[in-house]
Structure 1
Amino acid sequence: MYRRLNWTDLWGVFFIAFVLLFGGGQVVQAANTTPKKAYAINAQLPANQVDNALQYWELRLAPNQQQTLNLQLANIGSQPITITVYANNGTTDSNPQIIYDRTAPAVYPKTAVSFASLVQGPRKKQVTLKPSQTTTVSFKIRAPAKQFTGMILGGLYAVADVTTDANATVRSRVAYQRSVVLQGNDINQVKPKLHFGTVKPAVQADNMVLRLATTNPAKMYGEAITTDMQVNRQGDIKRLVHSTSQDGKIAPNSRFDWQFNIHKLPAGNYTMKLVVSGNNVPKQTITRNFTIEGSQVQSVADYLGTNSPGKLAIIIILGILIAILLVGGWVLLYNRARMRNHNK
């Protein structure tokens, strides 16, 4: 008689299949808890910091007063790491959120005073740290010659390549940022003022998006921004797209394209209705008409046609490999059990 395979044998089959498929036939060792490349930053707040509970700079400077901004960097990995730090203007991305990673964009309007214009010396600095080493990167700024209202917003942006494979074609980067808020007169009375231009549909990979031209020329950021957006066919009350968002932030003196996902609408004429509000932004309703062209719909279809079969093929191949390994493992254990009983 042949021995019946028990659950221990079956678990052995699954283990063999998993190791062969994902481990390359080699024993996988436990990973080291210390990452190879990693770092941390800390804003060293000065004595004239307005609010010491914050983890970024909030300063009120006299005209032409100089101030040094010190950012501490620490290598917490097991390999050397090179970190680049920029002193940039605060800008708004398409989400919207306030970011500091763009070195070129100017403030809006151009007559406004930018944080970048106040930096004395280079706005880019780079250091290489050995494991466990710390250092401080410093930037000097000079306040405007005259008093100003509202705020001037900038930030220090640190970025490092943490790729550990020298031959990797895709690089991994880790970035951190710390705000620099320069307070002017009437800081609590100045409010953001949002203005909206035209809306344009655009193709983004396998989706269609709307991009609404938006400006905030005021010297104050918008906080806790919420939106409620819907899309209808022109002349039809049926809602085809609906989305909401919360906790948006808009930089002072900034211009950006506010982006909304509208999925895969067919070609035609549509109306977008957007309701915007925030903690310091009054409620506004924006209505814009737009047209989706047939060529845009085709671009989305072409992208899906190019990428979907490849993904499906990978899934099918993986399924076949798993099935082969499971069957092969079962046959192997079955024959071993048969041979043991034959030799008794």
Structure 2
Amino acid sequence: MKKIRLFLFAILFCTLFIFTNRTIATQASTENVSVTPIIDNSDITDHFQIIAKPNRMYQVKLSITNFGVGSVKLRVRPTNASTSTEGTITYQQVISSGQNGLRYAFKDMTQAKNVTLAPNQTKEIAFNIKTPAKSFTGLMMGGFYIYDLSQPSSPGLKVPVWLTEDNKAVGGVLVLSDVSAEVVQKKPFINVNLSNNQPGSMKNVTVHMNLKRKGLLELLHLGFKPVNVDQTYKNIAPNSTVPVAFDQQSLPVKPGIYQATGTARSGKTHWRFSGSYRITQTQADRVNKASSNLIPDRTVMYLMIVLALLLLIFFVVWGLWSQSRQQKTRSVHR
């Protein structure tokens, strides 16, 4: 009997041990990871800054440490800087050449790498950066985005890499690009997208934007209500989209033509914007299906009920009038 109890106890202990180890292993994330650029002889410690020449190879190194209790597999992905709706510089999006006037993409100048780190392990990783064969002007704001391969949608880490040939500042220029719909934390948004199409960063840009929808319901003041947004962007990346976000307040996105008008100001420089863009049914359906807790828009249904009641009242009145007229006609003929 004792042997059976000991055997069952051993099985239970092993099961708990395996389950505990598996539980611990899933807890690893970039929250427990530290990334440090290895920079020699420079006062800059938070990013790489390279005075580059065409068609040259430059090497940069990152020191990555896992302070977590479980192992972690990371992806270190090169990309260009982009601008968030909050007015900050991010590196989460994959940026390709041609976007917003970008001549060269940083992801084409070096390669992404995977790295696996055991608990309390540090590794040094080197990247070779090959500059374009032709000269470029302004600032190329590239960087490495580091994220957990098992949790790709979770927030990651960034290490900027700034490249310039002449180290001369270039001013940014804002133009109206388009209107799009997207999902943010399972909530629908409509973005009026501006574009900084120059290789120069911008700071402290204030944007005022108005958005309205063109349609029959809007003419009757029953559809999409015109909305305004005032947003200050502390930093805008070179050659990047500048999204101005309109929260749908849990209402579904409606397809149709949207008109955006607005202004932007940076110091003494002013811009004015005006344009009409279409959100297709496919785009609206994609956003609405990915959103949660949407409030159904029953405006059309209520309008149809009112029209049906009006038609019913009309036919009832017309029937009574017709019946009364027939009775008067019969009385005259008698």
Match of 2:166 in 1: 185
Gaps of 5+ in 1: 1-31, 164-170, 307-344
User: Larger Rg: 1 or 2?
Assistant: 2
- SS of the residue corresponding to residue 304 of structure 1 reads coil
**CA offsets per residue over residues 266-321 of structure 1, 9 Å max, x none?**
98987543222336x93222234578999979x69995368xxxxxxxxxxxxxxx
Match of 1:13 in 2: none
Match of 1:159 in 2: 147
**CA offsets per residue over residues 41-91 of structure 1, 9 Å max, x none?**
1111244x5xx2341111212333321111110011122222221122333
Match of 2:233 in 1: 247
Number of aligned residue pairs: give it: 256
**CA offsets per residue over residues 230-289 of structure 1, 9 Å max, x none?**
4468899x995333222353332335654332545998987543222336x932222345
The TM-score with structure 2 as length reference comes to: 0.60
Q: How does 1:174-253 map to 2 (within 5 A)?
A: 174-185=155-166, 187-188=168-169, 190-199=170-179, 209-231=189-211, 240-253=226-239
Q: Structure 2 vs 1, CA of residues 117 and 76 (structure 1 numbering), >3 Å: closer, same or farther? A: same
- SS of the residue corresponding to residue 135 of structure 1 reads strand
Q: Structure 2 vs 1, CA of residues 64 and 40 (structure 1 numbering), >3 Å: closer, same or farther? A: same
Alpha-carbon RMSD: 4.2
Which amino acid in 2 is paired with 1:246?
A: T
Tell me how far 1:198 sits from its aligned partner. Answer: 4.0
The TM-score with structure 1 as length reference comes to: 0.59
- SS of the residue corresponding to residue 60 of structure 2 reads strand
Q: Distance in 2 between matches of 1:228 and 1:104?
A: 26
Match of 2:272 in 1: 285
Match of 1:125 in 2: 113
Match of 1:39 in 2: 33
Give the share of equivalent positions with the same residue, in percent: 20
If each structure's helix is expressed as a fraction of its own residues, which one has the higher value?
A: 2
Q: Distance in 2 between matches of 1:155 and 1:207?
A: 29
**CA offsets per residue over residues 124-163 of structure 1, 9 Å max, x none?**
2112222211111111112333443201121011112577
Match of 2:317 in 1: none
Q: Which of residues 54, 73, 77 in structure 2 aligns to 1:82?
A: 73
Match of 2:310 in 1: none
Which amino acid in 2 is paired with 1:43?
A: P
Q: Distance in 1 between matches of 2:262 and 2:232?
A: 13
Tell me how far 1:173 sits from its aligned partner. Answer: 3.5
Q: Distance in 1 between matches of 2:160 and 2:81?
A: 8
| 2:82 is the counterpart of 1:91 | yes
